[in-house]
């Protein structure tokens, strides 16, 4: 079961320090370069041997350019949002096409099919769980997906998806380095996630 730790530092120095900490406990590091003032992708990607996802949620024109640069530099993964989808030239880099809804959990099958239509290596869907049933629907989607999937429900009601998703076939789950380092509502720290897995005898 894979754990990805997001790096949401604003400065390069802080990002590199957090990457060192993440490399000790993470299977994958997510570089949220939209948090960084002046990201140096080459330096970030060369820092540590841990596989990296390059994610850029910024609305600025450099959104696609940064992802294409990451591919050229050999990033293991890039994440592009469905609503801003753009064809990317790539060879070995795996493509994650993602959809986020911070308000609710709508028709998951419809979203899944829209993303699958782009033929990504990994489908990612992150929605806000307003009820426990929303999380059960997400877990059901993970269990029955016909391709690699990351499925997460945000918020307190969605925590179960972060814990159980990988055991049902989810490609990975996200966990933070600790307080103030979370990239989404309801994200557990990596320590709390591992303790929970051990307590529940998951994995």
Question: Of 100, 118, 128, 144, which one is the catalytic site residue?
Answer: 100
Compute, in degrees rounded to 10, the torsion defined by CA atoms 161, 167, 168, 171: 80
Give the separation between CA 79 and CA 30, rounded to whole angstroms: 9
Catalytic site residue 100? yes
Residue 169: HSE in the Cβ half-sphere, 13 Å Cα cutoff:
14
Q: Which of 154, 145, 150, 188 is nearest to 171 (CA)?
A: 150
The tokens of 56 are what?
Answer: 């850029």
The tokens of 129 are what?
Answer: 């769980």
Catalytic site residue 124? yes
Question: Of 47, 124, 128, 181, which one is the catalytic site residue?
Answer: 124
Give the separation between CA 163 and CA 135, rounded to whole angstroms: 11
Q: Which residues are catalytic?
A: 100, 124
């Amino acid at each position: 079961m894979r754990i990805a730790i997001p790096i949401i530092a604003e400065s390069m120095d802080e990002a590199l320090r957090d990457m060192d900490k993440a490399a000790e406990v993470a299977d994958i590091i997510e570089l949220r370069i939209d948090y960084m003032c002046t990201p140096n992708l080459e330096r970030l990607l060369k820092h540590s041997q841990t596989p990296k996802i390059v994610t850029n949620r910024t609305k600025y024109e450099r959104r696609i350019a940064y992802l294409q640069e990451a591919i050229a530099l050999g990033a293991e993964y890039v994440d592009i949002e469905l609503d801003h989808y753009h064809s990317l030239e790539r060879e070995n880099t795996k493509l994650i096409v993602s959809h986020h809804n911070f308000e609710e959990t709508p028709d998951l099958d419809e979203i899944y099919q829209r993303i699958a239509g782009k033929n990504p290596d990994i489908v990612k869907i992150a929605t806000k769980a307003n009820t426990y049933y929303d999380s059960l629907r997400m877990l059901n989607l993970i269990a029955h997906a016909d391709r690699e999937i990351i499925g997460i429900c945000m918020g307190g009601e969605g925590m179960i998806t972060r814990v159980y998703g990988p055991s049902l076939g989810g490609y990975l789950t996200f966990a933070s380095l600790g307080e103030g380092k979370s990239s989404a509502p309801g994200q557990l720290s990596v320590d709390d996630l591992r303790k929970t897995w051990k307590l529940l005898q998951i994995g």
